[in-house]
Amino acid sequence: MTGTVVRATGLTKRYGSFTAVDAVDFSLEENRIYGLLGRNGAGKTTIMQLLTGQLFASAGRLEVFGREPAEHADVLRRMCFIAESQRYPEDFTPAHVFKSAPWFFENWDAAFAEQLVSDFRLPMKRRIKKLSRGQLSAVGVIVGLASRAPLTFFDEPYLGLDAVARHIFYDRLLEDYVAHPRTVVLSTHLIDEVANLLEHVILIDQGRILLDRDADEVRGSATTIAGPRNTVEAFVADRPVIGREGLGGLASVTIDGRLDQRDRIQAAELGLELAPVSLQQLIVHLTGTDLAGSTEQENAA
Amino acid sequence: MDESRPIFIQIAEQIENDIIDGSLPEGGQIPSTNEFAAFLRVNPATALKGVTRLVDDGIVEKRRGIGMFVTIGARERLVERRRAGFAAEFLRPLIIEAEKLGIDIDELAGMLRAERIQS
């Protein structure tokens, strides 16, 4: 049985004349892993701060567990937000952080936290301000996982974590999510690393939602076609182009759309190269500067 | 995992391959979706979608409270289906590339035989 955990309608956040979040509509379903993706300054963190009651919306409606999140303790108690640069009291050690965690998170699992501490080789008695960047990130990741909050946000949680530590995070997240399903929102730039963990992808750009789709639908939904310019252009003529690159007489064009078996055979017969587009590449195409250029060309044509 | 196709389809195909080569025998139990998810590092919902596809195809069946099992006759059905798609998926690209290189059908047949003896 699944329910809707978050429902946002026309959600807007303005800072003076700058609109950080621009009338977005979306919902988050229970017990799914979401990827909240987009470039720096796209509005991801602002959205998460709105959802966790750290900011008040300028306009629109927002329901988290059926209520406005801000100033509702019963809603806030069910959420955990791990920020990019999480702050802790000056003189705390990781041991202090984990000891006080059960006050904030009713599902806190101390044994799981202990296992994670040893996985990440985190020094428990060192003061927070003496920890390395990666160790500080590990503290946040451990709090985020062991709190088992029904709605957990990880906002770029792994600054300074090496590849091994990041994979420990992915593995533990997946294992624990299977044993204790909950809603997880991952915001990250390391898209290719997390792509397979995600069930659903929400892509934000300039405060608006550009894409809100099942990860499975997104995968393989775009293809790059490369070859002699005229042949490529003829092949993509009536298809939605999202990216275009060229070098002399050669062109490489990315389209948003699946190719069927017949298209593939036709492309092979024309001598065109087909390449899959990863989630990360797709997002680069959708939010990159080449998009504006190509749509203008489209409109002019 | 290859990037071009949905992961759940790739998971279904992997299980099918294991059934075809006999490492998952008919009547035998297949790993749970959570085991697939952990092993392949994919979202459990994705793994479930892959297995559900096989259930819908009648390749595996759910036994309530026990797990998933390969159905009797699954292997033969899979082989038949793969044979039907063999020409379009494998022969067509082969012929296109051969034509590009000026290899005619007789020469191609000879090359196939020679390759077979070597391997």
Residues of chain A neighbouring B41 (CB-CB closer than 8 A): 170-171, 174, 196-197
Distance CA B113, CA A201 (A): 48
Any B CB within 8 A of A178 CB: yes
Q: A54 pLDDT band (50/70/90 cuts)?
A: very high
pLDDT at B1: 65
Contact (CB<8Å) A276/B3: yes
Tell me the pLDDT tens digit for each residue of A81-105.
998 877 888 789 999 999 999 999 9
A33 contacts on B by Cβ (under 8 Å)? 43
What's the confidence (pLDDT) of residue B4? 64
Q: Where in chain A is the domain with CATH 3.40.50.300?
A: 4-216
Find the distance separating the first CA and the last CA of chain A, reported in whole Å. 49
Chain B CB within 8 Å of residue A162 CB: no
Q: Does the pLDDT value for residue B109 go beyond 70?
A: yes
Task: Please state, in angstroms and rounded to a whole number, the distance separating the CA atoms of residues A23 and A61.
Answer: 10
Residue contact B4–A175, C-beta within 8 A: no
Residue type, A285: H
Query: Would you call A32 and B42 a contact, using CB atoms and an 8 Å cutoff?
Result: no
**Distance (Å) from the alpha carbon of B80 to chain A's nearest alpha carbon:** 19
Residue B3 and residue A278: Cβ atoms within 8 Å? Answer: yes
Beta-carbon separation of A215 and B41 below 8 A: no
Residues of chain B with CATH 1.10.10.10: 7-72
Using the predicted structure, report yes or no on whether residue A290 has a pLDDT greater than 60. Answer: no
- Residue A301 confidence (pLDDT) above 50: no
Mean pLDDT for B57-78 is: 94
Chosen from B3, B36, B53, B86 to mutate, greatest number of chain A CBs within 10 A: B3
Q: How confident is the model at residue A232 (pLDDT cuts 50, 70, 90)?
A: very high
Residue A10 has phi, psi (to 5 degrees) of 60, 25
Judged by CB atoms closer than 8 Å, whether chains meet at B8 and A216 is answered as yes
A-chain residues near B93 (CB < 8 A):
268
pLDDT higher at B38 or A10:
A10
Interface size, chain A vs chain B, as Cβ–Cβ contacts under 8 Å: 62
pLDDT tens sequence across A183-199: 999 998 888 889 899 99
Q: Which residues of A touch B1 (CB under 8 A)?
A: 196
CATH for B7-72? 1.10.10.10
Whether B85 has its CB under 8 Å from any CB of chain A: the answer is no
Q: For position A1, what pLDDT does the model report?
A: 47
Asked if A269 and B96 come within 8 Å (Cβ–Cβ), the reply is: yes
B chain contacts of residue A223, beta-carbon cutoff 8 Å: 4
Q: What is the ipTM of this complex?
A: 0.72
Q: Do B43 and A215 touch (CB under 8 A)?
A: yes
Across B10-28, average pLDDT: 94
Q: pLDDT at residue A291 above 70?
A: no
Q: CATH assignment of A4-216, given 3.30.565.10, 1.10.760.10, 2.60.290.11, 3.40.50.300? A: 3.40.50.300
Percent of chain A with pLDDT over 70: 95
Q: Which helix (H) or strand (E) holds A154?
A: strand A151-155
Say which CATH topology domain A220-300 has.
Alpha-Beta Plaits (3.30.70)
Question: For residue A168, which of A193, A202, A203 has the smallest C-alpha distance?
Answer: A193
What is the pLDDT at residue A51? 95
Average pLDDT over residues B40-45: 91
Q: What is the CB neighbour count within 10 angstroms for residue B99? A: 13
Residue type present at position A255: I
Q: What is the pLDDT of residue A71?
A: 82
Structure tokens at A47: 């959205």
The yes-or-no verdict on residue A37 having pLDDT over 90 is yes
Lowest mean pLDDT among A22-36, A274-288, B90-104: A274-288
For residue range A140-195, list pLDDT tens digits in order: 999 999 999 999 999 998 888 999 999 999 999 999 999 999 999 999 888 888 98
Q: pLDDT digits over A248-263, tens only?
A: 889 999 998 888 888 8
Give the closest-approach CA distance of A269 to chain B in angstroms.
7
Best of B43, B46, B86 to substitute, by most chain A Cβ atoms within 10 angstroms, is B43
Please give the mean pLDDT across all residues of chain B: 90
pLDDT at A299 over 50: no
**Taking the CA of residue A225 as centre, how many other CA atoms within 13 Å lie in the half-sphere pointing to its CB?**
30
Please give the pLDDT value at position A297. Answer: 40
Supply the DSSP string of A180-208, one letter for each residue.
S--EEEEE-S-HHHHGGG-SEEEEEETTE
